[in-house]
A and B are shown apart, each in its own frame.
Chain A
Amino acid sequence: AQTVTQSQPEMSVQEAETVTLSCTYDTSESDYYLFWYKQPPSRQMILVIRQEAYKQQNATENRFSVNFQKAAKSFSLKISDSQLGDAAMYFCAYRTSGGGADGLTFGKGTHLIIQP
């Protein structure tokens, strides 16, 4: 079974600075998808960014980018120019790319604090 590990229960960063959240995963598959979800206090789960394992290029979405290291099974999220609205729980998630619409396997999350 796949596992996802987020080793940082909490991170703090000054507003406008850059922060990197870590994620590692374990799988025997060669093709899969990785995601970062944001969960603000409203508890709504919001997709931040997605990476297909077969793509070597790291995904970017505005101020959010990932560092995908397939061999190391590492998938970190970098947030540039941190804003107060970025404060939330961030979850790393894995999904097989198999034919079925399999569910997501989540890490335990990182609580991101933005210091004004």
Chain B
Amino acid sequence: DAGVIQSPRHEVTEMGQEVTLRCKPISGHNSLFWYRQTMMRGLELLIYFNNNVPIDDSGMPEDRFSAKMPNASFSTLKIQPSEPRDSAVYFCASSLRTSGKNEQFFGPGTRLTVL
């Protein structure tokens, strides 16, 4: 089975541009998470969805960030406008919400560089 798929793997853009990161969770999983990893702040939860519904977006840093999950097999994280401090690795993870164990499976991440 394919794991969590993220695209692109690398993104380089200029400040002010719109950036869209994409994620395809593991088929059958009903929870999806977006994390950001930086040297300064480590790994942080940005937002998560249960059954395509955003449950907690308190980790989203600013209004410039938005996330959607139009269906069970696709999610996007958008940054508009992007800034150099948004440079980070963005991970998507998914899990099956059947019990408390809910192991999260991570995608390979998208390395974003904003110049």
Give the B-binding residues of A (Cβ under 8 A): 31, 33, 42-45, 47, 50, 52, 91, 95, 97-98, 100-109
Q: How many contacts between A and B, using CB within 8 angstroms? A: 55
A31-B99 Cα distance, complex, nearest whole Å: 13
B-side contacts of A45, CB under 8 Å: 91, 93, 106
- Given A43-B109, A97-B100: A103 touches B33 (CB 8 Å cut-off): yes
Looking at the assembled complex, report how far the CB atom of B19 sits from the nearest CB atom of chain A, in whole angstroms.
19
Specify the main secondary structure of chain A where it touches its partner: loop
Q: Could you say which interface size class chain B belongs to?
A: 20 to 34
Contact B42 A108 (CB under 8 A): yes
B interface secondary structure, majority: strand
Q: Which one of A52, A97, A103 lies within 8 Å of B56 (CB-CB)? A: A103
Q: A21 vs B84: C-alpha distance in the bound complex, in angstroms?
A: 33
Q: Which of B20-28, B43-51, B60-68, B73-81 contacts A (4 or more CB under 8 A)?
A: B43-51
- Chain B interface residues toward A at CB < 8 A: 31, 33, 35, 42-45, 48, 50, 55-56, 59, 89, 91, 93, 95, 97, 100-104, 106, 108-109, 111
B106 proximity list for chain A (CB < 8 A): 44-45
When chains A and B are docked, how far (Å) is the Cα of A33 from the Cα of B48? 18
